[in-house]
Amino acid sequence: MELKITCIPGDGIGPEIVAEAKKVLNKTVEKFGHSIQYTDILMGGASIDVHGVPLTDEAIATAKSADAVLMGSIGGDTTTSPWYKLEPSLRPEAGLLKIRKELNLFANLRPAILYDELAGACPLKEEISKAGFDMMIMRELTGGLYFGERKTVTENGVRKAIDTLTYNEEEIRRIAIKGFDIARKRKKKVTSVDKANVLDSSRLWRAVVEEVAKDYPDVTLEHMLVDNCAMQLVKNPAQFDVILTENMFGDILSDEASMVTGSIGMLASASLNDSKFGLYEPSHGSAPDIAGKNIANPIATILSAAMMLRFTFDLDKEADAIEAAVKQVLKEGYRTVDIMSEGCTQVSCSEMGDLLVERI
């Protein structure tokens, strides 16, 4: 198989971590008999410096012509960078919002995994963290409260703000289908999170999810209210496989889940449209303070590349090989500075990439 991948190195540590992800991808496809065609585009501050805008129409067209997009990081220091003296529509992050819209990326995937070797970084009690956890939060990305009609008015001298939470059944159905499809690649369990005891939108959400579940008899479905889910994430995170939820709930819960892993440098993510196309990126930022020092942790980007192999190309064995290499390197005690602990061996960004290549 030939994989057509558009790469966005981006800003800050982006070029360094994308280079290591490419290195690992190249070794993986070589081992399994595939090939890759890469095309790089500019986005964010890097694009502003060259084109004056955070994302050009030509770059969007290039991304659309690929099978998937692999991205590093976008943005810089908001207090010192000249990019943040521009109007909001011309700042680096506007490029990310634009590409998500242009590519119709409605399904956000945020895995949260606690590796045995990094359990000490988990802020939960040892009696909880020792069970480990491996969950995928599926967040609807383009609907709900964030995209509903909003306004602020003054009535009888009193200011009033109105935000509208709207979902139609098709928006719910397409994210539910993605959630169940991904559960089939995992432990075959979906926890649908809503607030059906209060909200009409949640009652519709629950009804449509139950309709979709009928097409997946091999996948277990449970419903959970969002407040209970927030508690369960710190009480018993091992119970979760796929958490399926709407935009605002997903925004909050995915950040909570990432915190209990204890290591943001390990967190991958993906945003998918209604085909197999996806944009894959680490959950962390551009870390401009360490850019160019070869000390960034590339594992989140490399795990994002593994997600790309699994969810866009259906290359599960290849994705497994990358994830197994990450576990092996951690087991052997190699760490970048952000996850360094006593008794381990500190390595650079490029050295971590080399170690993973050797173990593919």
Q: Give the CATH number for residue 26.
A: 3.40.718.10
Decide if 194 is inside a domain: yes
Residues 254 and 145 in one domain: yes
Looking at the DSSP assignment, which residues form a beta bridge with residue 41?
A: none
Decide if 158 is inside a domain: yes
Residues 205 and 315 in one domain: no
Last-in-domain residue among 261, 282, 299 = 261
Decide if 233 is inside a domain: yes
Residues 107 and 6 in one domain: yes
Q: Contact at 8 Å (CB) between 209 and 244?
A: yes
Decide if 186 is inside a domain: yes
For the chain, 360 residues long, give each residue's pLDDT as a single digit of tens: 999 999 999 999 999 999 999 999 999 999 999 999 999 999 999 999 999 999 999 999 999 999 999 999 999 999 999 999 999 899 999 998 899 889 999 999 999 999 888 888 889 998 898 888 999 999 999 899 988 899 999 999 999 999 999 999 999 999 999 999 999 989 999 999 999 999 999 999 999 999 999 999 999 999 999 999 999 999 999 999 999 999 999 999 999 998 898 777 889 999 999 888 999 999 888 999 999 999 999 999 999 999 999 999 999 999 999 999 999 999 999 999 998 888 999 999 999 999 999 999
Tokens of 358: 């050797």
Last-in-domain residue among 209, 234, 261 = 261
**Torsion sign (Cα): 214, 218, 222, 223:** negative
Decide if 116 is inside a domain: no
How many domains are contained in the chain? 2
Residue in 123, 74, 137 with CA at minimum distance from that of residue 263: 123
Last-in-domain residue among 213, 245, 261 = 261
Residues 128 and 257 in one domain: yes
Residues 236 and 185 in one domain: yes
Spatial distance between the Cα atoms of 44 and 97, rounded to a whole number of angstroms: 10
Decide if 48 is inside a domain: yes
Domain with 352, as residue range(s), is: 1-111+265-360
Q: Which residues are the active-site residues?
A: 146, 195, 227, 251, 255
Spatial distance between the Cα atoms of 55 and 47, rounded to a whole number of angstroms: 6
Decide if 212 is inside a domain: yes
Instruction: Read off the pTM.
Output: 0.88
Residues 98 and 158 in one domain: no
Residues 130 and 216 in one domain: yes
Residues 232 and 288 in one domain: no
Query: For residue 208, which phi and psi values (nearest 5 degrees)?
Result: -70, -40
Residues 236 and 131 in one domain: yes
Residues 52 and 130 in one domain: no
Residues 257 and 140 in one domain: yes
Residues 128 and 100 in one domain: no
